[in-house]
Amino acid sequence: MSIVEKCAVIGVGETKYERGSSKSSTQLQLEASLAAIRDAGLEPRDIDGLIPIGITGATAEELVVNFGIPDLRYSALIPHGGASGIGAIQAAVAAVASGVCNNVLVSCGRNVTSGAKAGARIHTMPQFRYVTEFELDSGAIAPVQLYAPMARLHMEKYGTKSEQFGEIAITMRKHASLNQNAIMKKPMSLSDHQASRMISDPFRLFDCSLESDGGAAFIISSAERAADAPHAPVTIMGVGMGHPDSPGSITQRPVLTRVGVAKAAPRVFEMAGVKHADIDVAEIYDCFTYVVLCQIEDLGFCAKGEGGSFVENGRLSLSGELPTNTHGGLLSQGHMLGINHIVELVRQLRHEGGAAQVANAEVGLVTGYGDMGDGGVAIMRRG
């Protein structure tokens, strides 16, 4: 059985993204979820599949009691950090296409500025066991320190420059300035990027994404049901996950400059039956600037090592060849584990992108990147 074009995203919802929210992660998740349910033209009782994302928000049980869901037929947990949203699309599409359930709500809620910091939590997570046991005491504490050697080797091997990371940061900021629901809108120049303080070389402050509070959600249903929904349906053409070699330890990874999405991308492009040139808009997971550059290569938009020059000359801007992170991304809109990337792709393909709308966007791509390089890709189309 094929899952190609069997399902669509019929509803999306977000809360305000901010820092210092007084609302709990569960409340933020409930608010975003309800917005997505209403956007889909459904009632909470219509939800019969639940995939909560992340480790800070509500459980399926919590969502059931708050929404009064009478008959939950399917639930799943996807334990791959920022790749979990794409993993949830994969799971939801398989469940709906096979008739297990009808309407799957995927949602996250985060309060990491008033609540516990995300970086400090990773050492309690089983997938970070090797880091916790063998690297933490040397001073490898936060994800930025674990990922930096990947970027450093890319620079040493291919001549990639910090200024090229800066191009990515500036472009995301420019897009955020067009978005009412973005946290960081102050214009950023290349010299601002270069002057930002070094966190873990080669990553400067402006190479890092934001810690932010909020909730985001989307709903997946069958393509037939989508035809009756209030908004233009956004059909899922292909979706897949890929995991890097040595997924539990970057240190032990034979090729440091390749991440999981490299394995997923060929499968997903084939499933969707589209070519790279067909992608009108891309929402690429951007926990760090380099992670965008590496994924662009691993997705096949350019050869390995050419990502630095690829991102130059405004190629990722709204009028460029590959408009990327039209909402401002994790770097400048807010960090919603990439659920905000999925929401934004749906908006773009509905032509509801506002000031950041890519003209005539018909086909788009969204990625996820989690923990130590788990990857996911989904390709969607309008209609």
Partner 1 sequence: MAQQSETSIVDIDAPYWEGAARGVLVLQQCEDCGQIRHYPRLMCSNCHSLRVGHVEATGRGRVVSWTISHHAFSPKFAEEVPYALVTVELDEGVRILGRAETDFELEVDRQVRVEFRQHEQEKPTLWCIAEDQKGEEN
The whole-angstrom distance between residue 282's C-alpha and the CA centroid of its chain comes to 11
Given the rule CB under 8 A, which of 13-21, 138-146, 322-330, 342-350 is the region that contacts partner 1? 138-146
Distance of CA 147 to the CA centre of its chain: 17
Tell me whether residue 72 is exposed, middle or buried, using C-beta atoms within 10 angstroms of its C-beta: 0 to 12, 13 to 18, 19 or more.
Answer: middle
Q: Which of 26, 160, 200, 333 binds partner 1 (CB under 8 A)?
A: 200
Q: Is 198 in the site for partner 1 (CB under 8 A)?
A: yes
Which stretch of DSSP H or E encloses residue 75? strand 74-75
C-beta closer to partner 1: residue 161 or 276: 161
Region of 39-47, 50-58, 133-141, 317-325 interacting with partner 1 (CB under 8 A)? 133-141
The region of 42-50, 92-100, 104-112, 250-258 touching partner 1 under the rule CB under 8 A is: 250-258
Q: What is the distance between the alpha carbons of residues 311 and 190, in angstroms, rounded to a whole number? A: 14
Q: Which two tokens stand for residue 48?
A: 């019969």
Nearest to 18 by CA among 9, 8, 28, 10: 28
Q: Write out the two tokens for 286.
A: 């951007």
Intra-chain end-to-end CA distance of the chain, in Å: 22
Q: Which of 334, 328, 344, 358 is nearest to 173 (CA)?
A: 328
Residue 196 Cβ, how far from partner 1 at the closest point, in Å? 11
Rule CB under 8 A: choose which of 86, 148, 220, 272 binds partner 1. Answer: 148
CA 1, 383, 99 angle in degrees (round to 5)? 30
Residues 175-191 as b/e (b if ≥16 CB within 10 A, e otherwise) read bbbbbebbbbbeebeee
Q: Which two tokens stand for residue 359?
A: 């003209």
Q: How far is the CB of 371 from partner 1 (least distance, A)?
A: 16
Question: CB-wise, 130 or 274, nearer to partner 1?
Answer: 130
Q: 11: part of which helix (H) or strand (E)?
A: strand 7-14
Stretch 88-127: interaction string toward partner 1, x if CB under 8 A: -------------------------------xx-------
Rule CB under 8 A: say whether 255 interacts with partner 1. no
- DSSP 3-state assignment of 112? coil
Note the residue count of the chain: 383
The answer to the question of residue 256 lying near partner 1 (CB under 8 A) is yes
| Residue closer to partner 1, measured from CB, 196 or 317 | 196
* The binder of partner 1 chosen from 110, 152, 243, 347 (CB under 8 A): 152
The strand pairing partners of 51, in sequence order, are 106
To partner 1, the closest distance from the beta carbon of 154 in angstroms equals: 9
Q: Which stretch, 41-49, 78-86, 165-173, 246-254, contacts partner 1 (CB under 8 A)?
A: 246-254
Which of 41, 149, 314, 354 is in the footprint of partner 1 by CB under 8 A? 149
CA angle centred on 202, ends 200 and 206, rounded to 5°: 80
Which of 4, 77, 125, 141 contacts partner 1 by CB under 8 A?
A: 141
The Cα 51–Cα 280 span in angstroms is 28
* Of 50, 55, 63, 140, the one binding partner 1 by CB under 8 A: 140
CB of 311 to partner 1, least distance (A): 21
Q: Interface with partner 1 includes 130 (CB under 8 A)?
A: yes
User: Which of 30-38, 198-206, 310-318, 372-380 is the region at the interface with partner 1 (rule: CB under 8 A)?
Assistant: 198-206
Residue numbers at the binding site for partner 1 (CB under 8 A): 119-120, 130, 133-135, 137-142, 144-145, 148-150, 152-153, 156-157, 197-203, 249, 251-252, 256
